[in-house]
Copies of this chain bind each other. A is one copy, B any other.
């Protein structure tokens, strides 16, 4: 692999263009997507399925009916399965425990968390071994950097740092930091903000990587919590730089899979429950798209003349794949 990044990494300006462009390109009253009648044909044409988790695999802490059997069937048919999450607080290994708890047989290589995506991106550009990453984020990013053999500083170690301001005070920073990775961080503080800012502003060529720009996240079921976008927005404002975002809706993951396994993106099917994130994300990546109605989108919304985002197909839930591909005899 060359030192040039082949990946189509998301930046916010592109984000502002892409959805608008997609919307503009779609006819005002696009023909509603058809129901997935021929699941066997879809499965045959696809090498890899990428699944959004909440609303597709589980809802909150509850597994959606028929999911384990459907995943088993797809595996038996030789399909590659990938589970996507913008959560960067855990490593793939740690995130795997959620699947385990729900009784799902998913291994860590199948989980594409944004913490892993940050490490995979740095590997993909041959991040120099004499450079370091500064982490403004939680332990998941640290663990993925370790796993990838990338030098890093920051992360949870900087949680209790304080800045004692005296006249003429200067914060020293490591000139070898070649990338700052910003993710969700419950322990954000001004020390970390200033450290990240200094590296990006003062180290020539220093990258600014955001795991995701989600406004809110579901830390608990009881309410929405300020998400990774808050931390990324903070550093964006102090550096006046746009982040390279590796989590959804960046198409980095599709590019990565396509490149790593030598498959065409049309052989990837993105399965999700949200039109303006999952389906648009799949379309931006050049993939097939399947909307499931087991999450936030209703058939009425899908078929509304106001809706301009149409997946290739829709199904009631993931288990439709099982029913349709293997009809009960």
Which A residues form the contact surface with B (CB < 8 A)?
163, 165-171, 185-190, 193-194, 197-198, 201, 213, 215-216, 219-227, 229-240
Contact in complex: B168, A226 (CB < 8 Å): no
Tell me whether A188 and B193 are in contact in the complex, defined as CB-CB below 8 angstroms, given that A220-B169, A229-B237, A238-B215 are known contacts: yes
CA distance A101 to B19 in the complex (A): 54
9 pairs across A/B with beta carbons < 8 Å? A168-B222, A171-B223, A185-B190, A215-B240, A229-B237, A230-B235, A231-B234, A233-B233, A236-B237
> Distance in Å from the Cβ of A306 to the closest Cβ of chain B?
20
Q: Is the interface of A mostly helix, strand, loop or mixed?
A: mixed
Q: Which residues of B contact A193 (CB under 8 A)?
A: 188, 226, 230
> Which residue in chain B gives the minimum CB-CB distance to A241?
B215
Contact in complex: B230, A167 (CB < 8 Å): no
CA distance A304 to B178 in the complex (A): 36
> Which residue in chain B gives the minimum CB-CB distance to A235?
B230
Q: Which residues of B contact A221 (CB under 8 A)?
A: 167-168
Q: Which residues of B contact A227 (CB under 8 A)?
A: 238
Tell me whether A170 and B231 are in contact in the complex, defined as CB-CB below 8 angstroms, given that A188-B193, A190-B185, A190-B188 are known contacts: no
Contact in complex: B170, A222 (CB < 8 Å): yes
Contact in complex: B168, A186 (CB < 8 Å): no
Q: Which residues of B contact A165 (CB under 8 A)?
A: 186, 219-220
Q: Which residues of B contact A232 (CB under 8 A)?
A: 237
CA distance A197 to B187 in the complex (A): 16
Tell me whether A169 and B222 are in contact in the complex, defined as CB-CB below 8 angstroms, given that A187-B190, A190-B185, A216-B238 are known contacts: yes
Q: Which residues of B contact A163 (CB under 8 A)?
A: 186
CA distance A189 to B190 in the complex (A): 8
Most-contacted residue by chain B among A198, A221, A234, A236 (CB, 10 A)? A234
Q: Which residues of B contact A229 (CB under 8 A)?
A: 237-238
